[in-house]
Structure 1
Amino acid sequence: MMRTPRLAVTTAGAVAALAAALATGPLGAGGANASPRPDDAALPVSTPVPIATPDGVVSSYLLNARQANPGQTRLVERAVAAVGGTVVQAWPEIGVVVAHASTADFRARVTETAGRSLASVGATRTVPVETPDADEAAAAARRTQQRDVVPDPREGEQWDLQMIKADQAHTITDGSPRVVVGVLDSGIDPDHPDLASQIDVRDSVNCTDAGRPDLSPTGWYPTTSDHGTHVAGTIAAARNGVGIVGVAPGVRLASVKVVDDGGFIYPEYAVCGFMWAGLRGMEVTNNSYYVDPFQFYCEDQPDQAAAKEAVRRAVAWSIGRGVVSAAAAGNSAYDLANKTTDTTSPDDSTPVERVLNADCQDIPTELDGVVTVASLERFPADTLENRLSGFSNRGLGVIDVAAPGSRILSTVVADNGYGLKSGTSMASPHVAGVLALLASTHPTWSPARLVAALRAQADDHPCGTATQGAACVGTAAENSYYGDGVVDALDAVR
């Protein structure tokens, strides 16, 4: 995740998927393995974190129409304008509007004006919107035969590919160039020799311009972070006789920039990223982050609930469009199945200690349909044996699968070189790569079928030695540390 501790479907099918998601209301925890929530009456009240929106400063909001259709979305847009707000971006496909306003009572006034057309409205950050300088913003076939593979120079150092059997999968296929993986992150270095040939420029976008798609030629480039470049290399660094190779070097990458220059991923950025992936027909997205400014978004807090609902709708809509997503579980050594307190949020101003309940979720990783990925380290060292990384979040019924995430060698911006990084941020792209291999091998499979296969093919891993945080619970077939097990790239292609 970005900062410690977090660092062929028809349109009708997409609409039906979203309608079903909206009908069920807020989704439970568990990523792709969602489980029912307890009765709300049994939940403690989470600690309120009021978000001040004073007069005279610009605040950002997400508004959710009661029904996800263009008509109600337009009514919400008109209400925003009527009370002096500005519509930044509208997503009529999911009934979500991004708005800016500089009046303290915007939420109350727009709620009254919109009436029954508005389901919820919430501020998306605890600090004012910073308007970026204009110049800065502008700058800002499957092969089924066994084959010989010539390794890239540093491939021998990539123990992580051996651990998930990607090196063996490459003797069958590197993946299909028709598969596009959206890297929702801080941008991808366009000049790196292992990445330049892999980037689909037409599908790349910058979502940090207040949550609207910025198609400027360099908007999706990295500016202050090489995090996205490192993630991209793990997924699909080219097999070209240079440096390293990715899990799925035959697929393409789209740079979907959702991390601003301050290192934040606000809800409107994530909404834009998932919507863009669905609109552009991407097969897979990787999400090595949690949505700021809250490590956990609580259903009983109006601002947090509205922001979470907008992201949930965007994820559900993208799934309906055929997109399958992997996400990092987080780096707090936290038991996501038994949340108690949080002392890190909001992270864009002054954190407060707050009580959590079971409806407080880390998004997007705990949203329904998203594959939640825990991190592994080599143990003992210099072997292909493994255990849960000490920093990795865990949770029975929440973690779906595990993948290597400690000291991973991949591409970095500096000198177009290579470096080691650790985190569930590094584990998730291994899973995105395996999903890309699955999508290459089974081009007609739905996201749900791809996730089911990923989990069924994962190699069972017993609890083994505890690291830190909550003790491991469950069986070898599914437990709180490894979920359904360690992802298997070879099974994905045969």
Structure 2
Amino acid sequence: MGLALATAGMLTAVLAGGVAGAAPSPRSTPVFDGPSTPVTFETPDGELFSYVINTTRANPGHVQQVERAVVKSGGVVVQSWPEIGVVVAHSDRAAFRADVKRRGGRFVGSMGPTRYGTVYEGTPEGIETPWSTPEPVPPAAQPGVSKPDPRESEQWALKAINADQAHRITEGSRDVLVGVLDTGIDPGHPDLKSNLDPSKSVNCADAGRPDRSATGWHSTVNGHGTHVAGIIAAERNGRGVVGVAPKVRVASVKVTGDENMIYPEYAVCGFMWAARNGFDVTNSSYYVDPFTFWCTDQPEQAASVSAVRKAVEYATRKGVVHAAAAGNGTTDLTAKTTDTYPVQRKINNDCLHLPGELDGVATVSAVNSKGQLASFSNRGLGAIDVAAPGRDVMSTIPGGGYDAWAGTSMASPHVAGVLALMKSAHPHRTPAQMLEALRDQAEDHSCEPAEGDKGPACQGPAENNSHYGEGVVDALDAVR
């Protein structure tokens, strides 16, 4: 999600000749074709770090060889995903990376740390380690909540995507399950508890291992996941708001730790959980930390990109279709030049916003109630699939209340809700067929200046342009 501020201690950008290439001006989209700035992960002895290791082949034999190399190199295996050839490991030894690559030999495809700092939550209970684990960071206080009252009249977004008309045909099927990969969901909210499926909910923020404890998937750090869940599937019960698909089920897949960060191993766990548990749709209103953009021309960053990509692709093969936020940086995703989080560095178009820029994911930009691209929304010709409401979106928040929030985080769940309605009406469609229909059915939107005339100018025809992609998503066409 990128809401936490990075510290400079454990991540170093190696700047050759300083930071060249200015940030894009509001009316231009320059392109930087050089290599991205190398970043050094410092992992000193005595400090606990997390790593992803991709095996050369996705089979149990290769995974077992890498697991042995991890143990012999002074680490522990936290979680293995043999279906995709990914191992998550912890170690407090500076030489761990080199030793695993040496001992693992041809079985190690790529490897890299997943964080710029120590594993704050420690190694999960039940795993014997040669080191002591740190005390976990306590959850942040819950935000204040508004007094509950009916708010459907304030939901301009439902009409903007024709969800109100779609509901006359279907409000969704109980057979459809949507995974909310986010900060957790408030299980007691009156608009959510009937549609929330605890049996399919999980906490993936325990070092990337599925935690099925009774309350692990609850909302703790903030109300983000609760707000997203309400956009997708708030029940029509006369109490507050209504979701895009008010009769489908949602599962809380908590991928945000108590320090408000989403690391690669958390995201991998989330997508693999969806794949293993029969989910139909996932929503990812976040970007994977600690980078805004992960650069595939840097081997250690590429290891995490590969792990997340394989998890998304595996879930897709299992029948799961994905929606993801484009991001809130007013960035042209086809003309990347610089990044400032967590360190200032040069980047290029081989640097990816995860998971939104992965193939097979519907990347969603945000529009306001006037149909303009929201000033904060990322954009890019060919990078955006569809647009959806993301400004002043009323939805559920923890404690039984409601509030209007803004972000591509709010746009993406509108699309996830439409995909859930589509799956309800057309249960035999594959993920590829659903994405194709989503794009084809979107309402074309001609180029116009973004809200406040901010960011790179719109490029392309009404049928597919840099601000709206193939148009504003249409719930009515999705169910007809």
Question: TM-score higher than 0.5 here?
Answer: yes
User: Which one has the bigger helix percentage?
Assistant: 1
Query: 443, 455, 465: which one pairs with 2:427?
Result: 443
List runs of 5+ in structure 1 lacking aligned partners: 6-37, 141-151, 346-351, 380-385
Q: Deviations over 1:218-274 (max 9, x none)?
A: 000011210000000000000111101100001000000001111100000000000
Show the counterpart of 2:275. 278
Q: Deviations over 1:200-227 (max 9, x none)?
A: 1111000000000000000000112100
TM-superposed CA distance for 1:3, in Å, is 3.0
Matched, 1:411 2:388: no
Q: Distance in 2 between matches of 1:101 and 1:435?
A: 41
CA contact (8 A) 2:203 2:212 kept: yes
Report the 3-state secondary structure (helix = DSSP H, G, I; strand = E; otherwise coil) of the residue aligned with 2:217: coil
Q: Distance in 1 between matches of 2:136 and 2:344?
A: 36
Alignment of 1:152-163 (within 5 A): 153-163=150-160
Q: CA 1:278–1:104 in structure 2 vs 1: closer, same or farther (change >3 Å)? A: same
Show the counterpart of 1:342. 339
Show the counterpart of 1:331. 328
TM-superposed CA distance for 1:401, in Å, is 0.2
Structure 1: which amino acid aligns with 2:344? E
Report the 3-state secondary structure (helix = DSSP H, G, I; strand = E; otherwise coil) of the residue aligned with 1:208: coil
TM-superposed CA distance for 1:43, in Å, is 4.2
Q: Deviations over 1:15-50 (max 9, x none)?
A: xxxxxxxxxxxxxxxxxxxxxxx9xxx941100110
CA contact (8 A) 2:2 2:289 kept: no
TM-superposed CA distance for 1:153, in Å, is 3.1
Structure 1: which amino acid aligns with 2:47? V
Q: Distance in 2 between matches of 1:426 and 1:403?
A: 8
Q: Distance in 1 between matches of 2:163 and 2:449?
A: 25
Q: Distance in 2 between matches of 1:398 and 1:301?
A: 22
Percent identical: 59
CA contact (8 A) 1:83 1:109 kept: yes
Q: Deviations over 1:122-171 (max 9, x none)?
A: 0000001113597979999xxxxxxxxxxx93211110000000001011
CA contact (8 A) 1:2 1:288 kept: no
CA contact (8 A) 2:139 2:258 kept: no
CA contact (8 A) 1:138 1:218 kept: no
Show the counterpart of 2:474. 488
Report the 3-state secondary structure (helix = DSSP H, G, I; strand = E; otherwise coil) of the residue aligned with 1:219: coil
CA contact (8 A) 1:2 1:425 kept: no
Matched, 1:99 2:86: no
Query: 453, 464, 467: which one pairs with 2:437?
Result: 453
Q: Distance in 1 between matches of 2:449 and 2:294?
A: 31
Structure 2: which amino acid aligns with 1:412? I
CA contact (8 A) 1:2 1:227 kept: no
Matched, 1:390 2:390: no
Alignment of 1:181-196 (within 5 A): 181-196=178-193
Structure 1: which amino acid aligns with 2:379? R
Matched, 1:369 2:360: yes
Query: 203, 228, 231: which one pairs with 1:231?
Result: 228
Alignment of 1:145-184 (within 5 A): 153-184=150-181
CA contact (8 A) 2:2 2:292 kept: no
Per the normalisation by structure 2, the TM-score is 0.88
Q: Deviations over 1:272-329 (max 9, x none)?
A: 0000000001000000000000000111212211011000110010000000010000
CA contact (8 A) 2:137 2:258 kept: no
Report how many aligned residue pairs link the two structures: 435
CA RMSD of aligned residues (A): 1.9
